Amino acid sequence: MRSLLAISPELPDVRALLDRVRAVLRAHGEIVAELPADSTPVPDALNFERLVAVGGDGTLIAQVRRILKRGVPLIGLNSGRLGFLAEFDLASLESQAVQIFGPTPLIRHRMVMDVEVQRANGSTVHSGIAVNDAVVSAGIPFRMIELRMEFGQDTGPDIAGDGVIIASPIGSTAYNVSAGGPIVHPDVEALIVTPICAHSLAFRPIVLPSHMEVTVHVERANEGTNLAIDGQIHIRLHPGDTIRVSRHEMMARLIGNPAVTYGHQLISKMRWAAPPNYRDRGA
């Protein structure tokens, strides 16, 4: 098995893991290259069958965008703080290596999004992939901004407030859930639209079918208003700009840990539905 190793060396625990990670990969094949886990394009001539991303969830998300069109499965080895998407630690990588690097690993197919930004003159200033979310935020000087939305061919709401989040199902547990949006199981293909501090008591998040394109027209903006893609790519926005978000034609392929379920991750990592500390339960 030919593996590419993508590393986030700035994370404090990564260097301590690397020798053992290399040993696992070499025991089951060949390391074709080691690259920083950034967004630099992977050389076309580099042939690999697995990408092992060593870092946190942000590292894995960046690598999904980086190699999505190659269709190569990714393994997320968590050395960050949460590890919600990166399902493996060093112990589980070692214990599950035969399956991970074998011919039939558990692959979780996850929907990602296309994001396009057009200026008022019709020029396209960004076209790329979002794994978690595309977030329009007010920015400095933090006055309310005004947005007009369309859902496919249907009229959407107008928003006056701090912005809007358009999330994928795997991104539903990120900024979206912090802003009051719903948790959506990642096997569901949908787009989740959640306002950020809307100047309305009636604006509620909505879950849309994945075939709909979400269009956001910027009617009023601040000097610092921007679009953040996965919290990693930032595009300055101006009045008259249009953002279009739609389902990408390809699915991300993440190699899953058979010992981990989505419910387990929600409860153990996100503390989903954690009860109060009752005295009669030893708290």
Q: How far, in Å, CA of 36 to CA of 272, rounded? A: 33
List the catalytic residue out of 38, 57, 187, 280: 57
* Residue 178: CB atoms within 10 Å: 11
Structural contact between residues 69 and 41, judged by C-beta atoms closer than 8 angstroms: no
Is 57 an annotated catalytic residue? yes
Q: Which residue has the tokens 């409860």?
A: 267
Catalytic residue set: 57
